[in-house]
Amino acid sequence: MIKILQLLNKSATVTSYKIEDFKQGSNFYYIRVKVKLTNKTTLFIREYASEEDYSYSYHWQKEDSQIIIRWDNAPHHKQLKTFPHHKHVGKNVLESNEIGIQEVLEYIESVIRDSAK
């Protein structure tokens, strides 16, 4: 959980963030964060981690709430080889390996950097 906040604080593309929910116990944590980015898009982070389970959703969207991409491991889309890991790109659901917030931020930073050229 602390790693998420450290990465957000270091990222040049993050303008602000708000922790919308946080719960922690002796063997689990749950966090939801809303992140505003330099290109006026928003990233919603949701992670739950315990000794038995790990679930995530990283939802990146435009100002008008239109999805850009969402990576998650909700247990649906069993037809995908990477089940339960997948990503939503627009209306398409595609295979995706497990991903963490560091890789998500690196991807978003590269897209924003490339679009500024």
CB 112 within 8 A of CB 38: yes
Asked if the structure places residue 8 within a domain, the reply is yes
Is the residue at 117 inside a domain? Answer: no
Number of domains in the chain: 1
Q: Does residue 20 lie within any of the structural domains?
A: yes
Residue 80 lies in a domain: yes
Kindly state whether residue 97 falls inside one of the protein's structural domains: yes
The pLDDT value recorded for residue 115 is 85
Q: What is the pLDDT of residues 78-111, one digit of tens each?
A: 999 999 999 999 889 999 999 999 999 999 999 9
Residue 13's domain spans which residues?
2-112
Q: Is the pLDDT reported for residue 117 higher than 80?
A: no
Closest CA to 4 of 45, 65, 48: 45
Q: Give the residue-averaged pLDDT of 12-21.
A: 96
Give the residue-averaged pLDDT of 46-69: 96
Tell me how far apart the alpha carbons of residues 83 and 102 are, in angstroms, rounded to a whole number.
Answer: 21
Is residue 76 one of the residues assigned to a domain? yes
Q: Amino acid letter at 77?
A: H
Q: What's the angle, vertex CA 42, arms to CA 37 and CA 44, rounded to 5?
A: 120
Kindly tell me the burial class for residue 36, based on how many C-beta atoms sit within 10 Å of its own C-beta (0-12, 13-18, 19 or more). Answer: middle
Quick one: pLDDT at residue 1?
60
88 within a domain of the structure (yes/no): yes
User: Does 71 map to a domain?
Assistant: yes
